[in-house]
Amino acid sequence: MRARIRNTELYFDIDGMGLVPHTDRMVQRPVLFLLHGGPGGDHTLFKRKISALRDVAQLVYIDNRGSGRSVPCDPETCTLEENVEDVEALRDYLGLEHIALFGSSYGGMIAQGYAVNYPDRVSSLILGSTAPSFRFLAAAREIVDARGSAEQKRVCQPLWDGSFASDEQLHEFFRVMGPLYSLTFDAAAFDASAGQTTYNRDQLNRGFGGFLQSFDYIDRLHLIGCPTLVMAGAHDWICPPGQSELIASKIRRSHLKIFENSAHSISSDETEAFLTAVRGFLTYAPLTRP
């Protein structure tokens, strides 16, 4: 499905019932917007594991403007601020008074931006493997310098510079860095599924070479008043757990969960523990809304 909003067209997909029968009445499940990583990724990685959450929420998968199956648009408009405003426009387009948000990695940065700008529209917030400010970049570089192989350090240079020149170079980056992204990384499975996910190199380059070097929500996180689940992988290299600890310390109604056997891809490394944590939170959070 597509929504024409804010001079662009977003692709979105919906999975699961909103209204479900329960004894003698109908019960409204939370509508959970899923915000993907990147910049320049798409929603498809969510469908491998996170789609199981359809039993507790109505899932709305979204491709950011110009990403995935959304229509191409002016690259200058593909910024963090624009992504935040697109979430608000899509909420309004779907006629929803409140939404739950799950943002993973870069999607978690969008989710934080939305929650601080529109706190009254968020019923509950889930932040996975993400960071609150540009400072995550320095922390990630330190980890690669300390733990990375020579080959991993080599393929990271275009990331730091925002200079990926081809899709082949980007594929090599994700393949070489796979063991740092996920403790259960399977190179053969990665190659076999590579065609499922679309990456927009220009957006990734513009993010790491530009706006991700200056964004900062730390001093505004206290504006978030909804129940918030903050999740981190203990072995995450790109958004190390200290970033999630900082987020949780600033949001007054937050719960921090560190997954000890996960890297960046918690839903892949500890699937059942991840699903249990999110299901429990989504079941409890609506009951605690102010």
Q: What is the DSSP letter of 72?
A: P
Domains and CATH numbers, the chain: 2-141+216-288 (3.40.50.1820)
| Other Cβ atoms within 10 Å of 166 Cβ, number | 10
Tokens of 167: 């899709």
Name the residue with tokens 């001093």: 219
Strand locations in the chain, DSSP E?
2-5, 8-15, 19-22, 25-28, 31-35, 58-62, 99-104, 122-128, 228-233, 254-259
Instruction: Please state, rounded to an integer, the average pLDDT across all residues of the chain.
Output: 95
List pLDDT tens digits, range 89-142: 999 999 999 999 999 999 999 999 999 999 999 999 999 999 999 999 999 999
Q: What is the pTM of this model?
A: 0.96
Average pLDDT rounded to a whole number, residues 12-30: 92
In sequence order, what are the residues at sequence separation of 6 or more whose Cβ sits closer than 8 angstroms to the Cβ of residue 117?
A: 84, 88
Give yes or no for residue 290 having a pLDDT over 80: no
Task: Kindly give, in sequence order, each residue whose CB lies less than 8 Å from that of residue 111, ignoring residues fewer than 6 positions away.
Answer: 35, 101, 102, 103, 125, 126, 127, 130
Query: Is 70 exceeded by the pLDDT of residue 288?
Result: no
